[in-house]
Structures are given as structure tokens and as C-alpha cells.
């Protein structure tokens, strides 16, 4: 998987907590934040949120009965 840069601004307190957590788990701050983002997405997916990268894939999944459309139309 290719890597990409992401610049974010967060509260100092939150950064400090992540630095402590990263140190306790022998990770860099970058890897700790990446892990947190991955876990967040896994949680959302497990709760039923579906991330479909494009409309064609979404339509195919609906047609094949893999997912229910939110709005079925009239």
C-alpha cells in the first residue's frame, strides 16, 4: 500500500496523550495515529457503515443484494 502525507492540527493535550500511548506501545507517534484511524474505520464498518469507493460498485452491490439502499425510490 502506498503512503500519503496528512497534516492535521490537534489540541496539545490530545497529542501529548497519543505520544504517551505510542511510547508505552513502542510505536512512533505517526504509527499510533495511523493505528487509531484504522481502528476507527473498523469500528464504523462493524456498526454497519459501508464505504463504497464509487457509484458503479455501490449499484452492483445493491443489485446483488449485498447491501440495502438507504432510499429505494418510489
Q: Which of 30, 59, 25, 4 is nearest to 67 (CA)?
A: 59
74 pLDDT above the threshold of 80: no
Q: How far from the centroid of its chain's Cα atoms is residue 29's Cα?
A: 17
Q: Where does the chain show beta strands of DSSP type E?
A: none
What's the rounded Cα separation, in Å, for the pair 70 and 12? 39
pLDDT, one tens digit per residue, over 17-72 is 999 999 999 999 999 999 999 998 888 888 777 665 567 877 888 888 877 766 66
- Distance between CA atoms of 46 and 15, rounded to whole angstroms? 27
Amino acid at each position: 500500500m502506498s503512503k500519503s502525507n496528512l497534516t492535521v492540527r490537534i489540541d496539545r493535550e490530545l497529542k501529548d496523550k497519543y505520544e504517551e500511548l505510542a511510547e508505552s506501545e513502542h510505536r512512533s507517534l505517526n504509527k499510533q495515529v495511523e493505528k487509531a484511524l484504522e481502528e476507527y474505520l473498523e469500528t464504523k464498518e462493524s456498526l454497519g457503515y459501508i464505504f463504497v469507493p464509487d457509484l458503479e460498485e455501490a449499484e452492483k452491490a445493491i443489485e446483488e443484494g449485498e447491501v440495502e439502499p438507504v432510499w429505494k425510490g418510489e
